[in-house]
Amino acid sequence: MSTWHDYVKEEGHAPNWPYPVRFGEEQEIDADVLVIGGGIAGCWAAISAARQGVKVALVEKANTVRSGAGGPGCDHWCNAPANPLSNVDPDEWAVHMADRPYSNGIGIQIQCREDWDTLLEMEQMGGKIRDTEGEYKGADGRDEKTKLMLSPRYGRIHSYVPDDKTHLDPPAVRNNVVIRVWGSNFKPVLKKECQRLGVKIFDRVMVTGLLTEDGVQGRRVVGATGVNNRTGEFMIFKSKAAIIATAGAGSIWMMSMELCGYSNMMSRTISGDGTVMAWRAGAALTKMEATGINRIATGYRHKWYTGAGDASYENVPIVDAIGKRLPYPIQGWEDTGFMVPRPEVEAAIREAVMRGEYALPFYGDFPAMSDVERRATWNLMLGEESTTKIIIDTFNKGGYDPSRDLLQSYKFIEGAGMPQWREAGFGGGVLVDWNLKTTLDGLYAAGGQMFAPEDHSYAAATGRYAGRKAAAYARQVDESKLSRDQVASEKARVYAPLKRTSGIEWKELHAGIARAMQYYVSEYKTETLLQMGLGALKKIEEDSVPRLYALDPHKLMRSLEDLSLLAYAQIIVQASLARKASSVPLGFNRIDYPTMDPEEWNKFLTIKLENDKVKTGFLPMKFWGDMKEQYEAHNKEYDGVCKRK
């Protein structure tokens, strides 16, 4: 017996709710620095703030020990150009990385300067970053002296830069900026360090809204409200500085859980709460119009590597059904980490398949790899990374042997993703400055919460940085009073779905939002369609939201997440209406403004609420200024590897 249905059949009744129910009860917590979201960025922010000697509270929807996209593990510490084996200058490398249109030069500079320091701290806490046992002796990229394992990723000039021809030529020397790590214990290590430093952790609490001075939109952030998703207890946090370290929104266009399990890139908890609470408080967001075709499983496609759809994603040569090698880059040493095939290569493969020159299906030819490279890929890379850890484990137990068996690839045979199944995970987020402060006093952001976020080590380095900056701010400011009216109105909003026992439940509401987005805010964008989208979402807000009901604290959390998704969707439409031009890097096609990336539109679009009215603005590309200069001006006191060099 393990399912609910089994239990009911055995016992003749449903199990009781297993946790104490505390609807309406309040708990008030006072902190200098409040960290919202306990993933990689949040944990690092909490640790870094606590090390500054301030009182820190960390609030997490799940359990900090394994929560967030990096909860299960991490295999690559990307973009660590300050590491001792690096052959590039961190500041030059940062400028190069930030050359990608609509990237975040501030976050990238911080990552390039500080994520080697961050990794060394991780090692001190108990994270494994070196092959000390000599398990991978002889592997390409393994350094005998430091025992570090370099990865071929970013071995060439970063291949994401459009029109950058330099990536086609292998560099004379390797860049050596990416390090393989044994990250499956990073999250438990981070939680333990938080506890050791006296960070007060509130697990299973969803933060629902930010509190501002006198309850006024646009004023200093002085705290937040939350709800415990097991007990329903209402939480009031008072803070001098708050850091949002939540994630973006994972599933605005998609709702497919009943079909195949909710195998989205991220779990359903990734619902844009942080972005939306910042928005409601009056913080400016940017890049919110950027979307792309859903890259991942979402239940409809094969799930491998969070559903990237390809069994042999990295380091592995891909062959056809009769063993003929395909000209895909393998992102391995042989092509020094070249990540995506050029469009003409992709097209040539497709045509050759149609002519019958390549036989379907394709396979990842693990047996063709050398033993040590195969182990470094299968055991270390896939075995330590996030959701692939369990995949590797079940394949091993199921009898798959990478030295003997070809792993099926799902390229071509599962078809392309539907263009209307999009994702917002293309970089919309909170606007930040060189302190990682948002446009509101008292509010900072880190990791996936900022616009144009990057990977695990980026979340770690920026979280660590935001914690430091928020702690410094918290020490300067006086306590401020919470607005009791604001608390009361938020409490009423949070509990509203509990007041009803029928109506519309969260899954249907989510699916309704997703459908409206598929119709009106998808591949085809015009003024008319976008206005219809706005209308459809408004109708959902006016007709369906007042009927939203939740029967227990868990469903209450999901219902509140729907409200985040709905607001997030509306922001996307507003931003899409305001950008009157198409753009390749933003995945943004306006049929009524078809010219791609016209010069006058190469700028960031910002969007915020002012007196509850939507206000848009613009920032020039690279608005962050000279990255090295700005970083140094803002971090005179910081003593890291780069400074000591």
Partner 1 sequence: MKPITRSTTAYVNGSSTVRGKQTVSQSRPLGNLLMEETMAEEKMMALPNVQTPNKPVLFNQDICNGCNHCVEVCQIDVYIPHPEKGKPPIILHPEECWYCGCCANDCPRPGAITFNWPLQARGYWKNKATGEIHQL
Contacts with partner 1 by CB under 8 A lie at: 1-10, 12, 15-16, 18, 62-63, 65-68, 71-72, 184, 204, 229-230, 257-258, 260-264, 266-269, 297, 302-304, 311, 323, 363, 365, 367, 386-387, 389-391, 393-395, 397-400, 404-408, 554
**Hey, how many other C-beta atoms are within 10 angstroms of the C-beta on 399?**
8
CB of 178 to partner 1, least distance (A): 23
Q: What is the DSSP string of 5-44?
A: HHHHHHHSSPPPPSS---TT-EEEEEEEEEEE--SHHHHH
Q: How far apart are CA 563 and CA 542, in angstroms?
A: 12
| Nearer to partner 1 among residue 263 and residue 480 (C-beta) | 263
End-to-end CA distance of the chain: 61
CB of 551 to partner 1, least distance (A): 12
Can you tell me whether residue 527 is helix, strand or coil? Answer: helix
| Nearer to partner 1 among residue 413 and residue 492 (C-beta) | 413
CB of 476 to partner 1, least distance (A): 36
CB of 410 to partner 1, least distance (A): 8
Q: What is the DSSP string of 69-120?
A: TTSS---EE---TTSTT--S-HHHHHHHHTTSTT--HHHHHHHHHHHHHHHH
Give me the phi and psi of 458, to 5 degrees please: -65, -45
CB of 373 to partner 1, least distance (A): 16
Which H or E run contains 293?
A: strand 292-293
CB of 1 to partner 1, least distance (A): 6
| Nearer to partner 1 among residue 107 and residue 309 (C-beta) | 309
Work out whether the CA dihedral 36, 37, 38, 42 comes out positive or negative: negative
| Nearer to partner 1 among residue 303 and residue 525 (C-beta) | 303
| Nearer to partner 1 among residue 15 and residue 620 (C-beta) | 15
| Nearer to partner 1 among residue 469 and residue 558 (C-beta) | 558
| Nearer to partner 1 among residue 79 and residue 312 (C-beta) | 312
What is residue 586's DSSP assignment?
T
CB of 258 to partner 1, least distance (A): 6
Cβ(115)–Cβ(460) below 8 Å: yes
CB of 365 to partner 1, least distance (A): 8
Provide the residue type at 624 as one letter: W
Which residue in 42, 338, 62, 79 sits closest to 190, CA to CA? Answer: 42
| Nearer to partner 1 among residue 367 and residue 587 (C-beta) | 367
Which residue in 91, 129, 111 sits closest to 44, CA to CA? Answer: 111
Give the pairing type, strands 26-36 and 56-59: parallel
